[in-house]
Structure 1
Amino acid sequence: MTTSLFAADALLPAGWAKNVLLAWDDAGRLTRAEPGAQPSADMPTASGPVIPGMPNLHSHAFQRAIAGLTEYRGEAQDSFWSWRTLMYRFASRLDPAQLEAIAFGLYVEMIEAGYTSVCEFHYVHHDADGQPYADDATLSLALLSAARRAGIGLTLLPVLYQTSGFGGLPPNDGQKRFIRSTDSMLRLLERLKPACDAQGARLGLAPHSLRAVPPEGLREALAGLNAIDSTAPIHIHIAEQTKEVDDCIAWSGQRPVAWLLDHADVNARWCLVHATHMDAGEYSRAAATGAVAGLCLTTEANLGDGIFDLPQWHGAWGVGSDSHICVNAAEELLMLEYSQRLATRQRNVAADTTHPQVATAMTLAAVRGGARAAGRSVAGLAVGQQADFVMLDATHTALAGLPAPDMLSSHVFASHRTSAIDEVWVAGQPRTTSGRHMLHESATAGFVAARSQLQSNTP
């Protein structure tokens, strides 16, 4: 079994390094990440630059099956809220086997696209009538199975969803599969923890949003989570839409992020998903907590959410593919940089003084932030971290003949995205060859069949 790799060029947490020896143990943890090394005669050698695998910090797996199918005008002015109605209709038809097939296909896609772990924000809990399955963890276990089969690292985030709006508005019919009491959620977490531990997955909690979890539910859920695991990740949708901000102000007199910071112990365990619409005070206060901003650029663009103000954010951030309108780590980075260029009318906005190459700076930042949000040791090519890495295709037209930092720039900004990836390894195990997952065909066939069934059953 391969337990080491020599790379002429590798992107370590401090930046690019030459002649790097990577070695890992039987658990897939890096024991060496040594630059300036000399390989032994029989040591495998990377065919191109090696970069860290990207954590995907926000996923709703089932939504991959509707990607591209809502791109028509259904109202005089379509918005996130009209899209949500279509998504609810689709979610109402989903069964456990279909969820697993869709998630398995998606997770294989993610690996091929440079993601080596995923945070699954999972809120479809019950059957089509809104009743718990005989095993209340049925759909969560389907996601665990899909991740195990694909070979992707998983942070499972069961979602607490209780109301349809600020002030405790009762849930609507489209939300009946999501609704849980706080006690029910805590029982689910206790049920899932052994299964997650056995798989090497991380278990956390996702209060869906301030509009979906009243203050008392949020307080009780966080206390219960801390009793189960005081280090578990906590993710929440927040300030994604201007309507959400306006409704929160009408309810509480505060903007959503400000209210959360005043009423919860937000810290480095938290991921503030989207956080698109903050004022200057919220940007400053939220960054100071150590929380990660979870940016889902292609979904935010697809839904017309708005633009995150990256220059105002002096904190950790990472990227996710959310509704999976696009499944590609490089594309999320490109969209983040381009959105900032459009907003500021400048270039190379996400570069920093240490790493003037914008693709290098963004990759390192997104890996750091994504690892923190995942609550897993996937923070890059360093001793003690998981051996998750991507080998770029040095023969690709956009990359060939360039120095390694320019290859990464071309991968993000000038390639056909996944076409510039050669190999992807997760926990020291190869998952792709020539850019294709070993289970690509079966995963794709299952995904297509599940999507077709759902389409034929959806009015």
Structure 2
Amino acid sequence: MSAGRLFAAHALLPAGWARDVLLAWDGQGAFTQVQAGAARPAGVAEAAGPVLPGMPNLHSHAFQRGMAGLAEYRGSGEDSFWSWRSLMYRFACRLTPAQLEAIAYGLYVEMLEAGYTAVCEFHYVHHDTGGRPYADSAEMALAVLRAARRAGIGLTLLPVLYQSGGFGAQPPGEGQRRFIHATGAMLRLLERLQAPCAGQGARLGLAPHSLRAVPPAALREALAGLDALDATAPIHIHIAEQEREVADCIAWSGQRPVAWLLDHAPVDARWCLVHATHMDAVEIRRAAASGAVAGLCPSTEANLGDGIFDLPAWMEAGGAWGVGSDSHVCVNAAEELMLLEYSQRLATRRRNVAAGAHQPEVATAMVLAAVRGGAQAAGRPVAGLAVGQRADFAVLDAAHPALAGLAAPQMLAGHVFASHRTSAVCGVHAGGQPVVVAGRHAGHEAARAGFIAARRQLIEESP
């Protein structure tokens, strides 16, 4: 890496928009200077438009990008999340390490071109196609690490603990055979991954898949083991995504999922509650007060028919939130924000729901909130344009038809609500390195070709 500087006529800092901002970063890729009201030094390049903080993607299942579009047909019964899950299992059961790396690399290049600069990979395909551990238990996880390093995206790797097929420790199904780990084996996998993660600056955490997949005793043991390895490591969990999941949890425990988790686990700011879609008012207040981040994935939640998160109540309770692309039917940071805001407008019959008195510009308010929440969920210093944070940022093209002639806040609104959403991103830096120039990643063609080849192989192998 090398140090660098950039001058921006307009930049979105954690406190809001600022003019004439000089950005400087060191050879480790961290900001050393973020100065507003500065004069442009001789020889320092000026950004082509407003500079935005890089967006952390707080929830990704990379391999699912390869099956995007394959489940958009009506089956013989009523289609739902659960019928989609059966197709996903079949796809996951055929995946090789080389195919995973190719799909993940293609995906991560897409993410960078769309303004994501960091990703939390909720990684649960661990074993070989027969469900047996590889000679190196980290085989599949290392494929993800290599893909992230090649693309240049910041990574939080979250190996998934998965043990049961339903609440009450029901036996796992055949389609889940590649996911299953005993708790001790998972902790040994985390130990195995510590050095390679540290070697490329990736953050390592843990993802107990869900309450239906991790029995209480295993959850307690895994959390204790994680704390022994790293007491600050991020913890992500799927929770309350589907109404049936809520009903099944009540039948098992007498409690709703979020309430049970808050009563039985030390939920705090290390936790990301992914798809916390179906919470009641008490759960919302308690979960927000815990400091946990709500992990929202609007495009996937819409695609799967999950439901609509109650963002106004969560914001009123002071809850943190961020966005992820999850199943990757959409790989577009701005579009996730647009879909989140539009879902709230449909639910409330109001406009500009995610804005507030502190920040009336809805696109600005959403970007700042999603960056804060995403950085917290990632457990990495990626919380925006500030000294000490990673030099992760995106530059918008001020000459783009949706942006030209507007003030900076309206340019951002044009990007989120009025452009093709990736088309206005002309440059991206991750850790101070220019990974996207003139709208393209240097590895764009190779990533695309590798992704297409891997997906074609998987489709042709389909029974």
Q: Same fold (TM over 0.5)?
A: yes
The 8 Å contact of residues 19 and 36 in structure 2, kept in 1 or not, is answered as yes
> Which residue of 329, 335, 338 maps to 2:333?
329
Deviations 1:316-359 (A, max 9, x none): 00000000000000000000000000000000000011210000
Residue of structure 1 equivalent to 2:356: 352
TM-score, normalised by the number of residues in structure 2: 0.99
Amino acid paired to 1:96: P
Residue of structure 2 equivalent to 1:29: 30
Amino acid paired to 2:22: L
Name the CA distance, whole Å, in 2 between partners of 1:396 and 1:330: 15
Name the CA distance, whole Å, in 1 between partners of 2:124 and 2:261: 21
State the Cα distance separating 1:44 from its structure 2 match.
1.1
After TM superposition, the runs of 4+ consecutive aligned structure 1 residues lying more than 2 A away are: none
Residue of structure 1 equivalent to 2:366: 362
Deviations 1:424-450 (A, max 9, x none): 100111011111111000000000000
Residue of structure 2 equivalent to 1:226: 227
Name the CA distance, whole Å, in 1 between partners of 2:5 and 2:165: 51
Name the CA distance, whole Å, in 1 between partners of 2:46 and 2:408: 15
Residue of structure 1 equivalent to 2:452: 448
Amino acid paired to 2:395: M
Amino acid paired to 2:64: Q
Residue of structure 2 equivalent to 1:195: 196
Residue of structure 1 equivalent to 2:117: 116
Residue of structure 1 equivalent to 2:394: 390
- Structure 1 position 128 matched with structure 2 position 129: yes
Amino acid paired to 2:191: E
State the Cα distance separating 1:395 from its structure 2 match.
1.0
Amino acid paired to 1:181: A
Residue of structure 2 equivalent to 1:284: 285
Deviations 1:385-433 (A, max 9, x none): 0000000011111001111110000000000110010001001110111
**Fraction of identical pairs, as percent:** 74
Residue of structure 1 equivalent to 2:6: 5
Secondary structure of the 1:308 match is coil
Deviations 1:87-118 (A, max 9, x none): 00000100000000000000000000110000
Residue of structure 2 equivalent to 1:338: 342
Amino acid paired to 2:373: G
Alignment of 1:53-64 (within 5 A): 53-64=54-65
Name the CA distance, whole Å, in 2 between partners of 1:187 and 1:78: 38
Name the CA distance, whole Å, in 2 between partners of 1:316 and 1:189: 27
State the Cα distance separating 1:3 from its structure 2 match.
0.6
State the Cα distance separating 1:41 from its structure 2 match.
1.4
Secondary structure of the 2:169 match is coil
Secondary structure of the 1:431 match is strand
Name the CA distance, whole Å, in 2 between partners of 1:366 and 1:352: 15
Residue of structure 2 equivalent to 1:214: 215
Amino acid paired to 2:72: E
Name the CA distance, whole Å, in 1 between partners of 2:70 and 2:359: 39
Name the CA distance, whole Å, in 1 between partners of 2:42 and 2:406: 26
Secondary structure of the 2:272 match is strand
Name the CA distance, whole Å, in 2 between partners of 1:302 and 1:403: 34
Deviations 1:143-169 (A, max 9, x none): 000000000000000000000000010
Deviations 1:253-309 (A, max 9, x none): 000000000000000000000100000000000000000000000000000000000
State the Cα distance separating 1:69 from its structure 2 match.
1.1
State the Cα distance separating 1:74 from its structure 2 match.
1.1
The 8 Å contact of residues 276 and 294 in structure 2, kept in 1 or not, is answered as yes
Residue of structure 1 equivalent to 2:161: 160
Alignment of 1:241-280 (within 5 A): 241-280=242-281
> Which residue of 421, 424, 432 maps to 2:425?
421
Name the CA distance, whole Å, in 1 between partners of 2:343 and 2:108: 26
Unaligned 5+ segments in structure 1 are none
Amino acid paired to 2:45: P
Secondary structure of the 1:249 match is helix
The 8 Å contact of residues 288 and 319 in structure 2, kept in 1 or not, is answered as yes
State the Cα distance separating 1:241 from its structure 2 match.
0.2
Name the CA distance, whole Å, in 1 between partners of 2:378 and 2:83: 30
State the Cα distance separating 1:75 from its structure 2 match.
3.0
- Structure 1 position 305 matched with structure 2 position 309: no
TM-score, normalised by the number of residues in structure 1: 1.00
Name the CA distance, whole Å, in 2 between partners of 1:76 and 1:133: 37
State the Cα distance separating 1:76 from its structure 2 match.
2.5
Amino acid paired to 2:179: F
The 8 Å contact of residues 3 and 26 in structure 2, kept in 1 or not, is answered as no
Residue of structure 2 equivalent to 1:430: 434
Residue of structure 1 equivalent to 2:79: 78
Residue of structure 2 equivalent to 1:412: 416
Unaligned 5+ segments in structure 2 are none
The number of equivalent residue pairs is 459
Name the CA distance, whole Å, in 2 between partners of 1:434 and 1:39: 22
Secondary structure of the 2:354 match is coil
The 8 Å contact of residues 383 and 389 in structure 2, kept in 1 or not, is answered as yes
Amino acid paired to 2:185: S
Deviations 1:123-144 (A, max 9, x none): 0000010000010100000000
Deviations 1:24-82 (A, max 9, x none): 01001000111000111111111100000000000000000010111001132100000
Amino acid paired to 1:125: H
Name the CA distance, whole Å, in 2 between partners of 1:228 and 1:110: 30
Name the CA distance, whole Å, in 2 between partners of 1:356 and 1:19: 22
Name the CA distance, whole Å, in 2 between partners of 1:91 and 1:40: 52
